[in-house]
Amino acid sequence: MVSDAGTYSPVPLDLVERAPKVLLHDHLDGGLRPLTVVELAEETGYADLPSTDPDELARWFAAAAYSGSLERYLETFRHTVGVTQTADALRRVARECAEDLAADGVVYAEVRFAPELHLERGLDPHQVVEEVLAGFAEGQRLAAAAGHRIRVGVLLTAMRTATHSRQIAELSVEYRDRGVVGFDIAGAEAGFPPTRHLDAFEYLRRENAHFTIHAGEAFGLPSIWEALQWCGADRLGHGVRIVDDIEIGPDGEAHLGRLAAYVRDCRIPLEMCPSSNVQTGAADSIETHPIGLLRRLGFRVTVNTDNRLMSGTSMTHEMELLSAAFGYGLNDMQWFAINAMKSAFIPFDERLVIINDHIKPQFTALRAVLAERLTERI
């Protein structure tokens, strides 16, 4: 009966909430609590919020983000970045981020942010990084005290529309033994290919440093190809457009093009963010999201939130949506979690500890709980 419990769908919400989760793609400035945005605006004198009521503000973010355009989606960050220009604000949002993710069942997270966006009130990039790292350390301690175990690593992001990527790459190497685990570039894809930042990526490769690249979200296969074959990315941020290189024949068989085959064969992790992809137009709906096909074909797919405030989401919500759309059970959720943990930018032995001592035992326990419930129904 326990084996049946692993494939049973939809998974009851309370078990989805309790399931251990691994999150690789989450933006710090996209995950603020609405109340925190309001309070920080008042504290820092930021006067441009569309509403100072937390509930109304949350609805505004969700509505503004649901535009079908990545460019319009990114405009919402003007407000969250606007209220995080001080040391206290950065420390607070990092602390709350760790607490919120831990309460959502996340046992390991890599959270990214762009230091260059938080310099308007006199902070320098080093101060920005140190305040965020301190906030995450506080949040992890508070989460542990509340009975939730989480480890948070930081990805430093450079904006692909700017020219500071080499400096941010050097910063990520400088802090890699103090909580920073990797590097990323983000922002509008169209017109700003990854190769504009080739100097940063070549530097990181010389330094044996990890990096991921936003690619294949708003732009197609050329962006993915450049990220992998020119820049040498370890992972792809989103990567949903890899389906453009997959053809489904009349017999229902999938035929992979050379790039798609390379991504699958080399086990390139795909940091997929279902709700966000629907909002920005990268996918038409959750039900038709490429994650279903890619999971079936054995790509190394991971599930992520992207921006919890803008998408009004959480890891629990993303898993719940996928369970309903694709019939995923606890076994699938464990597969996603282990995929993500295998793909994390921390040492191999540390990844194994989280997989073997936390993820697998917790899913075994959840399957036993569900099996007992199913037995009681008979």
User: Tell me: the pLDDT tens digits for 26-53?
Assistant: 999 999 999 999 999 999 999 999 999 9
Q: Is 356 contained in some domain?
A: yes
Q: Given this model, what pLDDT does residue 333 score? A: 98
Closest CA to 189 of 158, 232, 220, 155: 220
Mean pLDDT along residues 231-239? 97
260 belongs to a structural domain: no
Quote the CA–CA distance of 269 and 263 in Å, as a whole number.
8
Express each pLDDT in 241-279 by its tens digit.
999 999 999 998 999 999 999 999 999 999 999 999 998
Residue 286 lies in a domain: no
Residue 3 pLDDT: 59
Given 130, 131, 217, 271, which residue is catalytic?
Answer: 217
Average pLDDT, the chain: 95
The C-alpha torsion from 252 through 257 and 260 to 265, rounded to 10°, is: 90
pLDDT in tens, 338-348: 999 999 999 99
182 close to 110: Cβ distance less than 8 angstroms:
yes
pLDDT in tens, 320-333: 999 999 999 999 99
Pairing status of strand 246-248 against strand 254-256? antiparallel
Does 241 reside within a domain?
no
- Cα–Cα dist 38/50, whole Å: 10
Confidence of residue 292 (pLDDT cuts 50, 70, 90): very high
Residue with tokens 């996603």, as numbered in its chain = 336
Closest CA to 178 of 233, 116, 136: 136
Q: Which run of H or of E encompasses 376?
A: helix 360-377
pTM of the model: 0.96
Instruction: For tokens 């690249």, name the residue.
Output: 213
Tell me, yes or no, if 202 is annotated catalytic.
Answer: no
Domain containing 85 — which CATH number? Answer: 3.20.20.140
Higher-scoring residue by pLDDT: 85, 62: 85
In a domain, 232, yes or no: no
On the question of pLDDT at 189 being above 90, the answer is no
CA-closest candidate to residue 167, choices 211, 226, 126 = 126
Residues near 302 by Cβ (< 8 Å), separated by ≥ 6?
A: 22, 24, 25, 269, 270, 271, 272, 336, 339, 340, 343
Query: What range defines the domain where residue 319 resides?
Result: 2-209+218-225+306-377
pLDDT band at 2 (very low <50, low <70, confident <90, very high): low
What are residue 27's phi and psi, to 5 degrees?
-95, 130
Per-residue pLDDT for 79 more than 80?
yes
Domain assignment present for 244: no
| Residue 88 maps to a domain | yes
**Could you tell me which of 228, 242, 165, 238 has the C-alpha nearest to residue 196?**
165
Within its chain, how far is the Cα of 270 from the centroid?
10
Indicate whether 299 belongs to any domain.
no
The total domain count for the chain is 1
